[in-house]
């Protein structure tokens, strides 16, 4: 099978079959070459139904989790989105396909640099990168219509909540260092409304308003 055939099969069998419905999310995942974001020697597993190591103790999320979290943001194309945890840059590319501007923060410089290289090469002009602790958010560039946290947090952060627009959506895994529940937070009349969606496992969010390193 070619990479493209593998990718279409992944979308049909892992996303559509399991209930991902947002056609824009589906089309973006049909298009973006996930295998470019997976380093060797795991590249051959890029379309497998699981997260994969990207080095530095971090992972690229399972395709279904990327699709599910993105669908939760309900993007229509005119949004500014904040991503905490650039990692491989794959989720960043999907967001850049679906929103107007993406602001992405990564605490590990080597991962951020690698992702920037790949995303620049792919020609995305609507992604803004920062190396640092994403638990502070990016207040100078906010507020955002969407915030996506791709590492497991100990609680729902009011710091990030303050950077959400009215009717803005935030998706964030919340729980222990080892397992979490995925929450969608929607700001309504200035209040943060919580929905507990599914169980998940992410690497820990490390920072001032999250877990300590080790
Ligand atoms: N969306 C990425 C997920 C990478 S794993 C992908 O699919 O490739 C989570 C990432 O969050 C890791 O790269 C980790 O270094 C980063 N991270 C953890 N805590 C962070 C923080 N406080 N600020 C920014 N990035 C953080």
CATH code of the domain in which 130 resides: 3.40.50.150
CB of 60 closer than 6 A to ligand 1?
Answer: yes
Active site residues: 61
Q: Which residues contact 141 (CB under 8 A, 6 or more apart)?
A: 80, 82, 103, 128
Give Cα 22 to chain centroid, integer Å: 16
Give the pair of three-digit tokens for residue 172.
């964030």
- Ligand 1 atom closest to Cα of 205? 19
CB atoms within 10 A of CB 135: 21
- Ligand 1 atom closest to Cα of 85? 11
Please give the pLDDT value at position 114: 98
Mutate which of 53, 64, 87 for ligand 1? The one with the most ligand atoms within 8 Å of its CB, which is 87
CB of 58 closer than 6 A to ligand 1?
Answer: yes
41, part of any domain: no
Tens of each residue's pLDDT in the chain, 214 residues: 999 999 999 999 999 999 999 999 999 999 999 999 999 999 999 999 999 999 999 999 999 999 999 999 999 999 999 999 999 999 999 999 999 999 999 999 999 999 999 999 999 999 999 999 999 999 999 999 999 999 999 999 999 999 999 999 999 999 999 999 999 999 999 999 999 999 999 999 999 999 999 7
Please give the pLDDT value at position 214: 79
Range of the domain at 130: 49-200
The whole-model pTM stands at: 0.98
For ligand 1, the distance from its centroid to the CA atom of residue 191, given in whole angstroms, is 27
Rounded Cα distance, 198 and 68, in Å: 10
3, part of any domain: no
135, part of any domain: yes
- Ligand 1 atom closest to Cα of 135? 22
Nearest CA to ligand 1 atom 16: 85
The CA R_g of the chain, rounded to the nearest whole Å, is 16
194, part of any domain: yes
Rounded Cα distance, 4 and 2, in Å: 5
25, part of any domain: no
Nearest CA to ligand 1 atom 3: 87
205, part of any domain: no
Please give the pLDDT value at position 105: 98
CB of 116 closer than 6 A to ligand 1?
Answer: no
7, part of any domain: no
User: How many domains does the chain contain in total?
Assistant: 1
CB of 180 closer than 6 A to ligand 1?
Answer: no
196, part of any domain: yes
Please give the pLDDT value at position 171: 98
Please give the pLDDT value at position 64: 98
């Amino acid at each position: 099978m070619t990479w493209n055939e593998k990718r279409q099969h992944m979308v049909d069998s892992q996303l559509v079959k399991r209930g991902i419905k947002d056609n824009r999310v589906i089309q973006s995942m049909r298009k973006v070459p996930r295998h470019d974001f997976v380093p060797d020697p795991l590249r051959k597993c890029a379309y497998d139904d699981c997260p994969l190591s990207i080095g530095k103790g971090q992972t690229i999320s399972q395709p279904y989790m990327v699709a599910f979290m993105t669908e939760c943001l309900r993007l229509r194309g005119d949004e500014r989105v904040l991503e905490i945890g650039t990692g491989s840059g794959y989720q960043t590319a999907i967001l850049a396909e679906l929103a107007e501007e993406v602001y992405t923060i990564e605490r590990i410089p080597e991962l951020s640099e690698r992702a920037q290289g790949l995303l620049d090469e792919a020609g995305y002009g609507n992604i803004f990168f920062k190396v640092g602790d994403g638990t502070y958010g990016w207040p100078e560039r906010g507020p955002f219509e969407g915030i996506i946290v791709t590492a497991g947090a100990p609680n729902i952060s009011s710091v990030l909540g303050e950077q959400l627009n009215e009717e803005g959506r935030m998706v964030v895994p919340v729980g222990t260092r080892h397992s979490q529940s995925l929450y969608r937070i929607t700001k309504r009349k200035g209040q943060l409304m919580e929905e507990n969606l599914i169980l998940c496992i992410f690497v820990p969010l490390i920072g001032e308003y999250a877990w300590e390193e080790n």
